[in-house]
Structures are given as C-alpha cells and as structure tokens.
Structure 1
C-alpha cells in the first residue's frame, strides 16, 4: 500500500494490501489551499469473497467519487468499515481540516458521522463527473479530472482565515505528541479553550479533545501494526495516557478489541 503517512489510519494494512492498493496524489496549485490530497483505492477480491476494509478516520471531510453515486463523508467518530467484493475503484478528495466549511453552507459539525449525496453540495453535475472519473483506469488522470471539476467551484478571495486557523490547530494536535490536553493546544494556537472549541465545532466537525484522542489512537494502531514487540505500558506513557489500562480501554472502545487481541 502506497501513501506512507497518508495511509495512517488504515487498520491491518498488510492484510488489506493483499486485495486493495491505495495511492495518493498531491493537488495542483489551483486547489491546494482547500485540498490536502487525492486518494485512489482499487481492489480485486477473488471469487465471491468479501473483505472488510477498516479505517480509523481523521478529522477531515472527503468527497468520494464512487458508485452508485458520489458522496460527501463528514468526520466519522467511529470505525469506518467498507465491504469489498469483486473488482472496483473509488477516488477520494481529502479536504484540509476546516476547508470544507467553504462548501458546506453551515457548520461542518452538521456532517459529523454522516454521509450525504455529493449532489446536495456540488449540484447534479457531480454525478455526471463521477461516471467520467470512474471510467478512467489511471489514478493520476482521475485526480486531474476531479481537480478540473472542483477548480471553478472554489470560493472567490481564497480560503477563510478561520479555516486556516482550524487547519493549523488540527496540524498541531496531530503532529505534536507533547500536546495531550485541550488547554495545551489552546495555548499553542493562541486561543482560549472556549474559542478553540467554537472554531472546531464550526470548521472541523469534532472537538479538540476528540482530535487529540484520535491522534493518540492513530499512533497506537500504527505501532500495533508495525510487527514490533511493544511495551504497552511505555507506549501509554509516551502517548499521555494515565496508565496502560487507560490506553487499553480507549483502544478497545474505538477499534473493537484490546491491543493484545488486535495484534493477533
């Protein structure tokens, strides 16, 4: 599976690589203030088998060109599972955290844990473009076609400064392992805790606390999938948990199994 850090959140990646290939592509300059990257998944599940692909979602909204119709996926606070059969492909657009507020027509929190028809946001033309994109066999060509569709829909004047602040705050929450509390993230962004919470509700769709917690779980899952022998007590301390039991409860509640069983 290609994509490096961009594949973070894909659970049991070595198993998924047997049937599915993930590729990611950077956006062009015209849209890079809104689009973080495009992702393309093609799968081939032999016979009549079914493979359950699982992803631990990030605090981002996605536009996915898929059949029978393209969808907008809000931030999923649970575990995302997709049942793969036969051969197929999808192309996704991952927007920068906060950037989808420009298209949503209201707080991004209204999309949380939901998937809605893309036509309700982008108009009926998105359905026609989806068929054109999915008829292509080349991932980069699919990404270019998606970008050609999105470019004229961008709001004039560039991104909302508040969206930029939201993206920066999410980047800090995800990228700085020393930040484990909302108060620390608020201080790092120069906002009050309440202002940070309002910013996330309006532009990200989940709370700062959820974002920090999810970043820790992404790291724990990545370590579990690394194949290394892990000292879970030490990892819990590294990730800012009170103790190993706290990490185990958090991991099991979200991923459906405690770390020891997940690794097996």
Structure 2
C-alpha cells in the first residue's frame, strides 16, 4: 500500500466539504494495511450547520464520534446502500477506520459481512474488547489518535484468511479495470461460477459483485462530473460500459440523488 489514496471519489461536492471541515487520511500500522484502506479524521467548528453527502464505498467502517459536549461513542457502519447524509453543527470530531472491501471479516469472523450491510450499531456489539472512544477521540495530538486506533485494532488480532484475500483482490480488480463490466466477466476471470462469486461477496464483502461494479462506475462518473462541468455523458456512458446514456443517467440519479444535469456548467 503506497499510503492513503488522495482521490475524492464518493464525496459529493468535495471542495465544499473541505471548506467546512478539516479532513485528512492517515495510514495505519503495517500489520493492519492488508485489511484497511486508511483512517479518516475530521474535525469541525462551524458557525452554521452543514450537511455532508457521501456515495458510500463498498466498505465497512468503524467510526469514533464526538459531537459538541457529548461523550464520544463508537459504532460499526456496514456498507451503506443509499446516499449517506451527515448533518454537522457546532464543534465535533470523528476518527474513522475504512476497511478494505473484504477486509472486515478477519476482525469479526463469526458472521458474514452481509449481516452488517445497511446497519449502524454500537461497536461493542461487534468487537471484544470494547472500543475505547476516549482513547481515540481525546488526544489533541493527531498522531496520538492514530496510535490509539493502531493499538486497538492490532489488539483484535485479525487472522489471515485466504478467502478474505481473494475477495479483496477481486474488488480491487473491479475498481481498477474498466473492462470488468459484468458479473459473468469477473466470474470467468476467477474461474468460478457467478453463483460462487455471489456467495463469496456476501460472506466477505457484504454486497454482491454487481452492486460493487455499479458503485465504482458511479463513483467515477461523479468524480468526472465534479472535475469537468462539460462532461460528454454519452461518451462517458460508453466508456463505463453502459449500453446508453439513459441507463447511466438513471443509475446516477438513483445513487447520487440528483441527475447529471445538476453538474452542468456554472
């Protein structure tokens, strides 16, 4: 892993988010990198309420949160199937752990990852020992917060799992190879049936391979729309493997909550 990725995929109106909050990604300890994408840290001190919007990745997150003067808490957030909106106000802090798609199961091996999909629940219902919100959220020093995350996750002692590694590799292939446009194509690459692939993804990723393929293509379309306000949507649809522009427009609108025309030149 060559450090945390720097793209803004999934963030709706990333420039506005970065203007409102202090957002950064940090790399986990070496022993955790096979399983984690990165840590993500957010602090804010707002004079006016702000709502952030995210098209979720196919990843489980462990999130330590503190809002205003409230006590901190930790929750496991399974893969979000819909646009995620978080309203922020006053002062607050979040320290999040984004697991690689397929990388969460070694930390909670007793249940299929699909069991957490679409759910947010207290971390203590998932992990033993309990997650320590004060140790993660309390330090003013950012390095100390990262060290607390490292210490807690390493103590959970994830066991290497060949099936998790297989799932992570397949999702990475979907993310990086645009020629993989259909579940059948991915199954052929892996040399298994589509049904076997579905079972692997349910157990280790939490959503089906078709969902993952669609989500990464929508991420790419959103990033393109925000960086280029004069996107040729018909050409982009073909580039992403859609049969026509109408299908991309439909999926984009359903996922992001607004049609591509919302990103017209301004």
By the TM > 0.5 criterion, same fold?
A: yes
CA distance in 2, matches of 1:71, 1:16: 22
Residues 184-221 of structure 1 show CA distances to partners (whole Å, capped at 9, x for unaligned) of 11122232211111000101000000000001100000
Task: Quote how far apart the aligned CAs of 1:34 are.
Answer: 2.1
CA distance in 2, matches of 1:187, 1:43: 47
Task: Quote how far apart the aligned CAs of 1:124 are.
Answer: 6.1
| Contact preservation (8 Å) 1:99, 1:159 | no
Residues 91-141 of structure 1 show CA distances to partners (whole Å, capped at 9, x for unaligned) of 111112212112332110010000110011124631xx2112111223332
CA distance in 2, matches of 1:132, 1:14: 31
| Contact preservation (8 Å) 1:79, 1:254 | yes
Change (3 A) 1:13 1:118: same
- Aligned residue number for residue 135 of structure 1: 138
- Aligned residue number for residue 101 of structure 2: 97
CA distance in 2, matches of 1:246, 1:118: 38
| Contact preservation (8 Å) 1:34, 1:159 | no
- Aligned residue number for residue 234 of structure 1: 235
| Contact preservation (8 Å) 1:20, 1:41 | yes
Q: Does 1:111 align with 2:140?
A: no
The answer to which of 21-30 and 210-219 deviates more is 21-30
Change (3 A) 1:204 1:4: closer
Change (3 A) 1:243 1:111: same
Residues 50-79 of structure 1 show CA distances to partners (whole Å, capped at 9, x for unaligned) of 111011111111111113410001001111
CA distance in 2, matches of 1:64, 1:77: 17
| Contact preservation (8 Å) 1:103, 1:121 | no
Matches within 5 A, 1:30-179: 30-46=31-47, 49-67=48-66, 68-104=72-108, 105-123=110-128, 125-126=130-131, 129-155=132-158, 158-179=159-180
| Equivalenced residues, count | 256
Change (3 A) 1:142 1:18: same
CA distance in 2, matches of 1:27, 1:146: 8
CA distance in 2, matches of 1:6, 1:107: 29
Q: Which runs of 5+ in 1 are unaligned?
A: none
Cα RMSD for the two superposed structures: 1.6
Task: Quote how far apart the aligned CAs of 1:148 are.
Answer: 0.5
CA distance in 2, matches of 1:247, 1:197: 23
Residues 3-45 of structure 1 show CA distances to partners (whole Å, capped at 9, x for unaligned) of 6545311110111111112211111122222222111111232
